[in-house]
Amino acid sequence: MTHADLEVVGRLAAELVAMHHALDPLRFIHLPDAAKGYAGYLGSELKKARVVLLVAERASDHGVVGYTYGRLEGRDYNALLDAAGKLEDVYVDASVRGQGVGEQLVRALLARLSEKGAPRVLLMTSTKNEFAQRLFARLGFRTTMLEMTRETGET
């Protein structure tokens, strides 16, 4: 990913945010200007050595059709987790889904995080996103935790 990709990647990230919000609006935030916010945030992440940001481009015109974002994380005592890589985002434009783009992005991210010293890579995925879960399982990820959410006003 380069700075030139950030506008398109910001749009894709906004689609990812909207998709999650639609799955569970009580759990996932709604960001009214997510594209601009994500473009700025990911632009600042580009400079960090512990971060991996990759894009997938369409061969015909080199247009960005997907991205992935991962980073090295240190030991987290609250999560009982040693240092690891974390796959934060992977998203592919609807026009190319089902063509292996997401798998290629995740495989490339895994390789880069491994090169940076990650002994393992973790991710979180929505329980309602079965398509993504099948992809991650096919790539060797296993379920290790289950997040549960409850609104505090419930009785």
CATH number of the domain that residue 115 is part of: 3.40.630.30
Q: How far apart are CA 34 and CA 10, in angstroms?
A: 7
On whether residue 90 sits in a domain, the answer given is: yes
Specify the pLDDT at position 60. 84
On whether residue 144 sits in a domain, the answer given is: no
On whether residue 80 sits in a domain, the answer given is: yes
Q: Are 51 and 88 within 8 A, CB to CB? A: no
Instruction: For 38-145, list the strands marked E by DSSP.
Output: 51-57, 64-73, 84-92, 121-123
On whether residue 145 sits in a domain, the answer given is: no
Q: Which residues pair with 69 in a beta bridge?
A: 53, 89
pLDDT along the chain (155 residues), means of 10: 96 96 95 95 96 94 94 96 97 94 98 97 95 96 94 83
Q: What is the DSSP letter of 155?
A: -
Q: What is the pLDDT of residues 78-116, one digit of tens each?
A: 999 999 999 999 999 999 999 999 999 999 999 999 999
Specify the pLDDT at position 61. 86
On whether residue 122 sits in a domain, the answer given is: yes
Residues ≥6 apart with Cβ < 8 Å to 72: 50, 51, 83, 84, 85, 86, 113, 116, 117, 118
Specify the pLDDT at position 89. 97
On whether residue 149 sits in a domain, the answer given is: no
Specify the pLDDT at position 62. 82
Give pTM, 2 decimals.
Answer: 0.93
Reference 64, options 1, 119, 143, 153; nearest CA is: 1
Q: How far apart are CA 132 and CA 135, in angstroms?
A: 5
How many domains does the structure of the chain reveal?
1
Specify the pLDDT at position 153. 86
Specify the pLDDT at position 100. 95
On whether residue 153 sits in a domain, the answer given is: no
Structural domain of residue 31, as residue ranges? Answer: 3-138
On whether residue 146 sits in a domain, the answer given is: no
Specify the pLDDT at position 86. 98
